[in-house]
Amino acid sequence: MAAARKRTRSGIEDVRDRKAKVIKDSGEKRHIAALILARGGSKGIPLKNIKMLAGVPLIGWVLRAAVDSKQFDSVWVSTDHDDIEKVATAWGAQVHRRSPEVSKDSSSSLDTIQEFARLNPEVDVICHIQATSPCLHPFHLKEALEMITKQGFTSVFSVVRRHHFRWQEVKKGGSVATQPLNLDPSNRPRRQDWDGELCENGSFYFSTRALIEEGVLQGGKWAYYEMLPEYSVDIDVDIDWPVAEQRVLRFGYFGLDKPEVVRLLLCNVSGCLTDGRVLISVSGEEMVSVNTRDTMGIRMLQREGVEVILISSGEDPVTKALADNLSQRTGCEVRQLGKDIQGEVKAMMDDKDLDWKEVAYMGNDAPDVDCLNLAGLSAVPRDAPVVAINAAKYSCHSAAGLGAVREFSEHILLLKKKAKSQMEQDRIYRNTF
């Protein structure tokens, strides 16, 4: 289990606490819901909640963690935007279509959560998860929820430990000198001699219905759940995005399946390896353009033991001469598939004794949707239609024929490296303890 520290702080026990204890002691099962707020009118970054972060819609990172935690009776996204609703549904969430009254710039998170609670009276505990916290893992949610279900707290929220020296703000033109707020300048502590301070990191807030109905998210018998700094990522403005992308690639949660088992990549020729155009000479010869970055990406996978097969569908076949040239240049087999792409891919997997989790699939349109959904890893180029993007687990920054295959190859290898590193850490842990 990844390292995480928990501390608790109790308020005055009141009627709310006693009510929670009665429910807990009676053995009655409470309905626990995860709720992600995702308004369409973000001012800092337009449609920030579904902007791609490391190949995944931002909201997809927390939805994957919530669904895979298996701690919630229901997982919801509250939104006022059609595109966000489509993404939320594709990632396994139910949708609370919020009213205009709680969709204003002046509306608070609590306003929307209270509306959700009124419309869903069966819900007893709500976990408000911030869409802008992409390094959230299932174990964070599981451990925090246990503080409510097993320890009797009525609200639990996430914090991170910071070692920042704070000073009093002086308004422009003010004559008052600033003052230290949390240190003695004549005796500045070393970092290793100072525990630091606990700050909310905004990842999640668990609250009982009783608290929410009273107009607070934190109250009663409360506690905090401490997350390590590497998991505490927040995105507010554009300059946060590149930093968050690097952090999530290293510390993000990528799903239940371990990516190191991928043994086969199936990649469409048209619209993935190429840009989809077929050039025809005067003599009738067909030609396509292949980017050397993409062929290098294929070779990188092959060196790591991943077989790559290029596929062409019945609706857009390549000629035998062109297939032979592609095979010679890439070192890959080129297979012609009919209209039943999923069925033929499954037969191919059976021949090789492979499961879907061992297959990576790169497609680019509606006929690929089933395989994109089923494959352990899947991707589409940047210029793929929405129906394919919503089905894929990774959406490339690069367009078809312009490095998308190389990008997905690097993504596969990065996940394999990450998984191998985790396996090595687990081995060290077992041998040490």
Active-site position among 5, 9, 166, 188: 188
E strand segments, 130-271: 155-162, 197-208, 222-227, 264-268
Contact 404, 387 (CB under 8 A): no
Report CA-CA distances (Å) from 5 to 40, 136, 146, 253, 273.
34, 15, 14, 19, 46
The two three-digit tokens of residue 429, written as one number: 């842990």
Instruction: Number of helices (H) and strands (E) in the chain: give both, helices first.
Output: 13, 18
Distance linking the first and last C-alpha atoms of the chain: 13
Contact 326, 269 (CB under 8 A): yes
Question: Which residue, 242, 286, 240, 294, is CA-closest to 267?
Answer: 294
Tokens 């009124």, residue located = 118
Query: Is 188 an active-site residue?
Result: yes
Contact 75, 120 (CB under 8 A): no
Q: Which residues are catalytic?
A: 188
